[in-house]
A and B are shown apart, each in its own frame.
Chain A
Amino acid sequence: MKELMLGNKAVARGLYEAGVCMISSYPGTPSTEITEEAAKYDEIYCEWAPNEKVAMEAAFGACLSGRRSFCGMKHVGLNVAADPLYTMSYTGVNAGMVIGVADDAGMHSSQNEQDSRHHAIASKVPMLEPSDSGEALELTKLAYEISEKFDTPVLIKMCTRVAHSQSVVEPGERIVPVKEYEKNIGKYVMMPGNAKKRHPVVEQRTLDLIEYAETAPVNRVEMGGTGLGIITASTSYQYVKEVFGDSVSVLKLGMTNPLPEKLIRDFAAKVDRLVVVEELDPIIENHVRALGIPVSGKDLLPLVDEFSQNLIAKTLGGEVHDGQTLEEAIPMRPPVMCAGCPHRGLFYTLKKNKCTVLGDIGCYTLGAVQPLGAMEMTLCMGASIGAIHGFNKMLGGGSEGKTVAVIGDSTFMHSGMTGLANVAYNQSNSTVIILDNSITGMTGHQQNPTTGYNIKGDPAGKIDLEALCRAMGFERVSVVDPYNLEECDRVLKEELSAKEPSVIISRRPCALLKYVKHNAPLTVNEEKCIGCKSCMRIGCPAISMKNGKAHVDNTLCVGCEVCSQLCKKDAFESTAKEGQK
Chain B
Amino acid sequence: METKNIMIVGVGGQGSLLASKLLGHLLLSQGYDVKVSEVHGMSQRGGSVVTYVRYGDHVYSPVIDRGEADFIVSFELLEAARWLPFLKKDGQIVTNTQQIDPMPVITGAVEYPQDLVEKLRSAGAKVDAMNCLKLAKEAGSAKAVNIVLLGRLSHYFDLPQEAWMASLEANVPAKFLEMNKKAFELGKNAV
Contacts and interface: CB of A to CB of B under 8 A. Distances in A.
Nearest to A441: B45
Interface string A305-343: 000111000000000011111101111111111100000
B102 A334 contact: yes
A239 interface: yes
Nearest to A164: B38
Interface string B1-43: 0000000000111000000000011001000011111111111
B129 interface: no
Contact of A165 (B37, B85, B91, B123): B37
B103 interface: yes
A91 interface: no
B84 interface: yes
A447 interface: no
What's the interface size class on B, roughly?
35 or more
Given A325-B85, A444-B40, A238 B66 contact: no
Given A164-B40, A167-B34, A324-B124, A371 B24 contact: no
A369 interface: yes
Nearest to A2: B28
B107 interface: yes
B112 interface: yes
A29 interface: yes
B61 A308 contact: yes
B159 interface: no
Contacts of A541: 46, 101, 103, 106
A310 B85 CA distance: 13
B28 A168 contact: yes
B34 A543 contact: no
Contacts of A167: 33-36, 59, 62
A135 interface: no
A448 to B, nearest CB: 17
B40 A543 contact: no
Contacts of B47: 333-336
A370 interface: yes
A178 interface: no
Nearest to A29: B41
B113 interface: yes
Contacts of B78: 330-331, 333
Interface string B95-139: 000001111111111111100000110011100000000000000
Interface in B71-88: 78-79, 81-82, 84-88
B40 A30 contact: yes
A123 interface: no
A32 B48 CA distance: 21
A331 B46 contact: no
A416 interface: no
B37 A332 contact: no
A555 interface: yes
A6 to B, nearest CB: 8
A514 B3 CA distance: 39
Interface of A is mostly: loop
Interface string A221-238: 000000000000001001
B65 interface: yes
B41 A324 contact: no
B89 interface: yes
Contacts of A369: 103
A164 B45 contact: no
A335 B44 contact: yes
A278 interface: no
Contacts of A326: 81, 84, 119-120, 123
Contacts of B86: 323
A308 B28 contact: no
Given A109-B41, A335-B43, A442-B42, A168 B34 contact: yes
Given A168-B28, A168-B34, A331 B62 contact: no
B40 A331 contact: no
B63 interface: yes
B28 A331 contact: no
A161 interface: yes
B84 A324 contact: yes
A322 B124 CA distance: 13
B172 interface: no
B142 interface: yes
A331 B36 contact: no
A536 interface: yes
Interface string A21-50: 000000001101100000000000000000
A555 B125 contact: no
Contacts of A544: 101, 105-106
A132 interface: yes
A87 interface: no
Contacts of A543: 106
Given A241-B61, A536-B107, 8 more contacts: A309-B68, A321-B66, A321-B67, A321-B88, A323-B84, A325-B85, A336-B46, A363-B45
Interface of B: 11-13, 24-25, 28, 33-48, 59-63, 65-69, 78-79, 81-82, 84-89, 91, 100-113, 119-120, 123-125, 142
Interface of A: 2-4, 6, 29-30, 32-33, 108-109, 132, 161-162, 164-168, 235, 238-239, 241-242, 308-310, 321-326, 328-338, 363, 366, 369-371, 442-444, 533, 536, 539, 541, 543-545, 553, 555
11 contacts: A108-B40, A161-B62, A309-B63, A322-B66, A324-B84, A324-B123, A324-B125, A329-B110, A331-B113, A541-B101, A544-B101
Q: Which 10 A-B pairs have the closest CB atoms?
A: A109-B41, A321-B67, A29-B41, A335-B47, A165-B62, A333-B102, A323-B67, A242-B61, A335-B45, A242-B60
